[in-house]
């Protein structure tokens, strides 16, 4: 799997991001299991790459969540003041 860039992640739909996140977590689990069994990972840099990709996806998810909250709050402030 290739390295995920933040721009690529932002272009994905929420469903695509969730699916990619599931795939990455499963791959991380396989890598961790292989390391636990054999003691030496096949590709040591891959674990770090997977963790970073997971963090990037979660960061983009959080950014969108905060953007929605801000938009909601701004709409509430634009209403008539009593």
What is the pTM (predicted TM-score) of this model? 0.83
Lowest mean pLDDT among 11-20, 42-51, 73-82: 73-82
Tens digits of residue pLDDT in 1-40:
568 899 999 999 999 999 999 999 999 999 999 889 988 7
**Residues, the chain:** 82
Query: What is the per-residue pLDDT across 48-59, written as a single tens digit (0 to 9) for each?
Result: 999 999 999 999
CATH of 6-77, one of 3.40.605.10, 1.10.287.310, 1.20.1260.10, 1.25.40.80: 1.10.287.310
Identify the pLDDT of residue 78: 67
- Of residues 34, 32, 25, 30, the one with CA closest to residue 58: 25
Provide the strand spans (E) within 1-82: none
Q: Decide if pLDDT at 76 tops 90.
A: no
């Amino acid at each position: 799997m290739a390295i995920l860039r933040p721009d690529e992640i932002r272009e994905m739909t929420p469903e695509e991001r969730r699916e990619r996140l599931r795939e990455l977590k499963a791959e991380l689990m396989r890598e961790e299991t292989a390391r636990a069994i054999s003691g030496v990972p096949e590709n040591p840099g891959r674990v770090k790459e997977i963790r970073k990709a997971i963090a990037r996806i979660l960061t983009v998810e959080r950014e969108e969540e905060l953007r929605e909250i801000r938009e909601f709050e701004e709409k509430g402030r634009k209403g008539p003041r009593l």
